[in-house]
Amino acid sequence: MDKKKNHTSSKKEQSSHDHQNHGPMNHNHEESKDPTSPHTSHEEHENHGGHRGHEHHHHGSFKEIFLKSLPFGIIIMLLSPMMGVTFPFQFSFLYSDILVSILATLLIVYGGKPFYMGAMDEFKQRVPGMMALVTLGIGVSYFYSIYAVVARYITGEHIMDFFFEFASLLLIMLLGHWIEMKAVGEAGDAQKALAELMPKDANLVLEDDSIESRPVSQLQVGDLIRVQAGENIPADGVIQRGQSRVNESLLTGESKPIEKNTGDKVIGGSTNNEGVLYVEVQETGDKSFISQVQTLIRQAQDQPSRAENLANKVASWLFYVAIAAAVTAFIIWLFLTDVQTAILFTVTTLVIACPHALGLAIPLVVARSTSLGASRGLLVKDREALELATKADVMILDKTGTLTTGEFKVLNAETLSNRYSVDEVLALMAGIEGGSSHPIAQSIVSYAENKEVKPTTFSSINVISGAGVEGETNGRLYELISQKAFGKTIEFDIPKGATVSYLVEEGEVIGAVALGDELKPTSKELMNVLKSRGIKPIMATGDNEKAAQGVAEELGIEYKANQSPQDKYELVESLKKEGKTVIMVGDGVNDAPSLALADVGVAIGAGTQVALDSADVILTQSDPGDIESFIELAHKTTSKMRQNLIWGAGYNFIAIPIAAGILAPIGIILAPALGAVLMSVSTVIVAINAMTLRLKD
């Protein structure tokens, strides 16, 4: 599937930072929102074999199967020679070959099931690959070995068996798949995480104003529900009574609680921070915001992946080469010698074709890569994401919480009067805001504390409706009001996209403060790295034009503002239709569909569970600089995978024709024992090469 994940659209609403609703302050700071527009249609895509990296999970737990198969395999290898050669650690006794036959039968029935079931899947899709090749190897080695044992007791003829090769191949392949599945990890259930945002019951307001608890599933459009402080809102709707600040960060990715008043829309799943809200239900069921997000997630997960598993391709080639070589060897040796010799060459060819090293080539690199990544705070859930990242053309990044801290902070505070120092202006601002719990007020107070500036004590503080706050101290009147309410801009160092408020004393502006979302320290460096690698960065944010433009200009990148989940989803979709390989980086529910649909989804670890479930890669430290480490890891891991595939498959491509006897006319025949040694050497080289994977400090 083409990147596996989900989403809907929402329009964050325009809201004013109005201090009427949160204590002594009113700045009328603008915040952005985006109107919800339902996602109605997407093309149906054929599913080519399930979710990436998890094609065979439904055939059982490789860990459990490996551990239960291990004792049988060890006993078989202790009692059976390797391609006719008995090693010092091996032994035999009367009828030990019968015991081995019984154990091998149990082993192929239980331990071999994931492979022949997987092979059936591959043949149904007409793309034989690793599972088909492994099934061929274990099948031929098992049945021929059973034939060899039967022949010994019926005809007395000693025929070499391949029980050792059968058991070792089966155990190595089970171990390889266990390592791979453990390293890749299980993808989380994003849709379940979304559903958990919704409360199960709602407080329905009846006609007599009494309250009745009712399951959310039974709510209807037009119902009036009551939402207490701290509760999640049960459904999309419009506030009929009450005022509060609502935390929509889980849904929109925006960190600041948004002030909500009568007539404002609220989204089901968001949290009512304070106060009591009476909400008229507008959308339920499939039309709700969360339901639309789930729909987009399903659509993204159902789309096929255009990236191919290189190991499977190599295995597919090996499968056809082995079959062709074996059939050719049988025909030629049957013509030149006898049936027994022809069968021996044929079986030897097929057994040597078994991908011992190839089976570990990718899992060992994945395990090493996963360990390295984890030490840097990079959790790679889908190994295919590493290869895709090396081909990336575009990286789409969310703003809030991804490139910026997601916290409303004072970016700059200055004095605009010769009569006051910066600290004195800051003391007045912190004093006049000291009684408010509003995020902007608190950011000013915190800024003063960090600067070790003691707030001025005010004798009275009052809200200026729609403008800000005023207070009196030492007989003088001060106002801290928004730039919009003040009506003009006074020049000072204003960071791009910042919200500005002015401190006014008796009608004279004496100070100014700029507040906004701060860039993370590593964001600029990341942009330079992406450009140097030929990856075009695009910032897609739900924030308003002004805020988005400021951050984009500071980073020197392209941007798109007022982006709903639907908009982000369609942006990724349009780029992919142009043939671009897209990496999406985000942290909120609004990013989840895009994370799912993009070729590579990278979730910021401090983001929502839905975003983490929808992504292929998780940055646990929420640092944009870790994206650079991920890109480096992707390039080096992919390089090691390719090297291991060459080592793992190269042996097979060379050994198969020799095992088939192609060089026999000039006296060169690959003895089974030598073939086994080469097989082991190839496996060791693959393992050592995987361990040499390193990242720069």
Q: Which residues are catalytic?
A: 398
Report the DSSP beta bridge partners of residue 601.
584
**Distance set, CA 192 to CA 291, 584, 610 (Å):** 11, 22, 8
Q: What are the percentages of helix, strand and coil residues in the chain, rounded to 5?
A: 45, 20, 35
Q: Which residues contact 272 (CB under 8 A, 6 or more apart)?
A: 227, 228, 229, 230, 231, 232, 233, 244, 246
Between β-strands 476-482 and 499-505, what pairing exists: parallel, antiparallel or unpaired? antiparallel
Q: Which of 619, 617, 613 is nearest to 601 (CA)?
A: 617
Q: Which residue, chain included where needed, has tokens 């989403």?
A: 7
Range list of β-strands (E), 490-641? 499-505, 508-519, 536-540, 558-560, 582-586, 600-604, 617-619
d(CA 594, CA 293): 10
Q: Annotate 660-678 with b (16+ C-beta within 10 A) or e (fewer).
A: bbbebeeeeebebeebbeb
Q: Do residues 144 and 162 make contact, with C-beta atoms less than 8 angstroms apart?
A: yes
SS3 state at 537? strand
d(CA 223, CA 330): 78
**Distance set, CA 493 to CA 31, 480, 683 (Å):** 21, 18, 63
Q: What single-letter amino acid sits at 408? A: F
Phi, psi at residue 258, to the nearest 5°?
Answer: -105, 130
